[in-house]
């Protein structure tokens, strides 16, 4: 039996740290325990709060490390000349991501200009024309080679969390971006989604509306929790609906 620390529960999924790797496992909960299977490994471990996780990426001379902490995201970015370290609270992280590939248009435009110059000089100066074609081809090839592939998660303060990826590590980066969003959602759900009828109702309703507006709670989940708060029929438990 291998004991693995469960990162969080969300729609019948669990991220577990097992044998020095983060892996996603399916599970069912019985008395606050997690059970799942990772490549034949049987898991049974009490679910805990979000532990530290890290993703390291490198693009040319820029190295970036991102840690998922209990209440925030920590980002360290290093270049040959600069170093910056900062944290982004989970409250500021949007729960949508964007996957994109962008090309440096300056190099593309430069290569087109060189091609045009080469065509113009074909008759007058073949050697210079060939050189223009060669340099233009180099810049075009470099623009295609250096295309920037990123997973971008927006924040509510206007900045972006960018996770660069390659074809080799694309799935790992996608999985990590999912962990960021789900860790943020789970933190906000735990902080603002608890129902206590002994406390003022208005402030708790505002918190539930906040979770609904952030799409952390569905309309149905919001209505169920609101009914519980107002003492109506008890329809569901706090948190995400479980899928079969």
Provide the pLDDT for residue 157.
87
Quick count: other Cβ atoms within 10 Å of Cβ 168? 7
- pLDDT, average across residues 76-93: 93
209-219 pLDDT, tens digit each: 999 999 999 99
> Domain 53-102+147-189 falls in which CATH fold?
PH-domain like (2.30.29)
Cβ neighbourhood burial of 81 (10 Å; 0-12, 13-18, 19+) = exposed
Cα separation, 7 vs 35, whole angstroms: 13
Instruction: Name the band, by pLDDT with cuts 50, 70 and 90, for residue 132.
Output: very high
Q: In a 3-state reduction of DSSP, which class is residue 168?
A: coil
Q: Where are the domains of the chain?
A: 5-46, 53-102+147-189, 105-145, 193-244
Q: What mean pLDDT, rounded, does the chain reach?
A: 78
Q: What angle do CA 143, 145, 148 make, to 5 degrees?
A: 80
98-109 pLDDT, tens digit each: 999 999 899 999
Closest CA to 222 of 177, 150, 213, 231: 213
The torsion angle over the Cα atoms of residues 88, 155, 161 and 21, rounded to 10 degrees, is 70
pTM, full prediction? 0.67
């Amino acid at each position: 039996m291998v004991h693995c620390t469960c990162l969080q529960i969300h729609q019948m999924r669990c991220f577990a740290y097992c044998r020095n790797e983060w892996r996603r496992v399916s599970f069912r909960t019985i008395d606050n325990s997690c059970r799942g299977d990772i490549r034949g490994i049987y898991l049974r471990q009490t679910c805990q709060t979000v532990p530290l996780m890290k993703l390291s990426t490198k693009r040319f001379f820029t190295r970036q490390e991102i840690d998922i902490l209990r209440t925030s995201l920590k980002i360290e970015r290093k270049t040959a000349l600069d170093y910056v370290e900062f944290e982004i609270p989970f409250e500021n992280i949007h729960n949508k991501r964007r996957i994109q590939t962008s090309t440096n248009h300056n190099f593309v435009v430069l290569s087109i200009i060189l091609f045009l110059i080469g065509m113009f000089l074909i008759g007058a100066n073949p050697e210079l024309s060939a050189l223009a074609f060669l340099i233009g081809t180099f810049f075009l090839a470099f623009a295609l080679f250096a295309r920037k592939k990123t997973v971008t998660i927006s924040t509510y303060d206007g900045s972006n969390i960018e996770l660069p990826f390659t074809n080799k590590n694309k799935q790992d980066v996608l999985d990590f971006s999912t962990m960021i969003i789900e860790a943020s959602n789970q933190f906000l759900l735990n902080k603002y989604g608890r129902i206590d009828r002994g406390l003022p109702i208005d402030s708790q309703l505002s918190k539930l509306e906040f979770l609904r507006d952030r799409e952390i709670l569905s309309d149905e989940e919001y209505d169920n929790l609101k009914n519980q708060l107002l003492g109506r029929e008890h329809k569901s438990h706090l948190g995400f609906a479980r899928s079969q």
